[in-house]
Amino acid sequence: MEKIIAYTGYKKKDFSACLGCKICASVCTLNDFSMHANPQGLLLKILLGDNTITDDPLIKNCVSCYRCTDACPWQIRVPEVVRAIRETLELSSPFEKAFKGSISIWGRVYEPYIFMNAIGFLIKNGYLKHLMKWTEYISFHLPHKIKRI
């Protein structure tokens, strides 16, 4: 647990700053898909040293969208906590790999690349039934033209 906390960039006492308001859970993208994600609960597990941390749905499914951080009164960086757990426990996430691959190749998050690289995982785990809902979030950008003044 000490190693996980060190990777988060927070100190253990920082986790007690969480207000327990669950605004993070109310905006979490995973809950748009009824996945019962609770970022506040994950932070509490870390504070209490709860070893069931690996069973938390966020560890498998968090997509690092930072919606929770954006809405949190303390701007707590939950996705970085999730990443610290994944890195420490060497838990692979196809989304994480796809994001990293996209950044290293394109220098940005490129949705088609991420989708194609995570497609096997999506099919295997039955996520394709959510495809129509996902299309509300996916946007395919072409490079913007530079405005000449």
Provide the minimum distance between the beta carbon of 132 and ligand SF4 in the complex, in angstroms, as a whole number: 19
* Residue (of 76, 9, 91) closest to 41 by Cα position: 76
Provide the minimum distance between the beta carbon of 70 and ligand SF4 in the complex, in angstroms, as a whole number: 8
Residue 95: exposure state from Cβ atoms within 10 A (0-12, 13-18, ≥19): middle
In the bound state with ligand SF4, the residue whose beta carbon lies nearer, of 1 and 23, is 23
- First vs last C-alpha separation in the chain: 54
- Which residues in 59-78 contact ligand SF4 (CB under 6 A)? 62-68, 72-74, 76, 78
With CB under 6 A, what is the number of residues at the site for ligand SF4? 28
Provide the minimum distance between the beta carbon of 104 and ligand SF4 in the complex, in angstroms, as a whole number: 21
126 phi, psi to nearest 5 deg: 75, 20
Provide the minimum distance between the beta carbon of 128 and ligand SF4 in the complex, in angstroms, as a whole number: 18
Instruction: Provide the greatest CA pair distance for the chain.
Output: 58
Specify the stretch interacting with ligand SF4 by CB under 6 A; choose among 4-12, 19-27, 114-122, 126-134. Answer: 19-27
Q: How far apart are CA 81 and CA 86, in angstroms?
A: 9
Query: Do residues 7 and 14 make contact, with C-beta atoms less than 8 angstroms apart?
Result: no
Contacts with ligand SF4 by CB under 6 A lie at 18-24, 28-30, 37, 39-40, 43, 58, 62-68, 72-74, 76, 78-79
